[in-house]
Amino acid sequence: MIGLGTAASATDHDGAQQGGGGQGSGQASAAVKSGGSSVGLYVYLKRDPSIRGSWPNSTQQYFVTAWEGTTFDFVPVTLESAQAAVDAAGLVVCGPGMWGIQEDIVHGGVEIFTDNPAPSYPDSWIGWYTAGGPIYDAWHGNLDEFVTVPECDAATPAPTATPEAPAAAPTPVVSVAPATPSATPTPTASPSTGVTEVLAAPSPSATATSSVVTQVLADETAGKAAGAQLASTGAAPLAGAVAAVLLLAAGGVLLVLRRRGAAR
């Protein structure tokens, strides 16, 4: 809803708090110096909505319009012009009592307002003539004295003059239990295959076998010599045969004993 502004002058708002642009108290002088005078109009979000608009209760101001003149005139302000002034800042003009208005009268043309940054409490303003600046009068009040400011709806939350940064979410503390050292695994014995390894008996040495054969041959030769001697002396042939068998048996036993000794 757009409210229409109503004409007013400084004398129509004697109760309105004066002072603006950093000057603690307003200058009531309406004298026009050479070079003419101009009026500039600003809107701002009040610091405390329950208190009337004033320089200490103002925040960053937004320039609405300016014109040549020497008196306060509130006709130029509408809800549309106020909203257009704050669009670039991403604000919405809503909330009765939350917005203030300021008008400054300066010595000089409208370019004083258009070519300079808008005031911002407490350190930024165009400057009062008492300190070498162009402002010689100023006025503050509530915007909804001249414009019907709508309520803020659910889709448009009420703006805040000093938005607080959202508190950082606390970083969750994760308790980490100390790692339990793993038990040293018990070595597992290799399963028995059930097969008993049998060591092969070492092969008899060729040298040992040769020695045994040589010995046997020697024994046979000796036996034959003994038989011949018996035959020459007239011994019975049976005795020679028995002796030969005994020699052969002895040779066999000797051969077995030698093989066992070589195996050990």
Pair type for strands 99-107 and 37-45: antiparallel
Q: What is the mean pLDDT of the chain?
A: 71
What gap in Å lies between CA 90 and CA 104, rounded to an integer? 25
Mean pLDDT of 105-130: 94
More confident residue, 226 or 75: 75
pLDDT band at 119 (very low <50, low <70, confident <90, very high): very high
pLDDT digits (tens, 9 = 90+) for 168-216: 555 655 555 556 555 555 555 554 444 444 344 444 444 444 444 455 4
CB atoms within 10 A of CB 171: 6
More confident residue, 5 or 212: 212
Mean pLDDT of 222-242: 51
Residue 12 pLDDT greater than 60, yes or no: no
Residue 142: strand pairing partners? 100
Give the pLDDT confidence score for residue 249 in this predicted structure.
Answer: 73
Give the pLDDT confidence score for residue 80 in this predicted structure.
Answer: 96
pLDDT digits (tens, 9 = 90+) for 28-39: 344 444 569 999
Q: Name which of 75-84, 113-122, 150-159 the model is least confident about.
A: 150-159
CB atoms within 10 A of CB 61: 28
Give the pLDDT confidence score for residue 58 in this predicted structure.
Answer: 98
Query: Has this prediction a pTM greater than 0.75?
Result: no
More confident residue, 210 or 50: 50
Residue 14 pLDDT greater than 50, yes or no: no
**Which residues are CB-neighbours of 126 under 8 A, at least 6 positions away?**
21, 104, 106, 112, 113, 116, 119, 133, 134, 135
Q: Name which of 31-45, 124-138, 142-156, 242-256 the model is least confident about.
A: 242-256
Residue 113 pLDDT greater than 50, yes or no: yes
pLDDT band at 8 (very low <50, low <70, confident <90, very high): very low
What gap in Å lies between CA 85 and CA 42, rounded to an integer? 8
Query: What percent of the chain is modeled with pLDDT above 90?
Result: 41
Collapsing DSSP to helix, strand or coil, 120 comes out as strand
Q: Name which of 51-65, 127-141, 200-214 the model is least confident about.
A: 200-214
- Where in 108-199 does DSSP place strands (E)? 135-142
Residue 51 pLDDT greater than 80, yes or no: yes
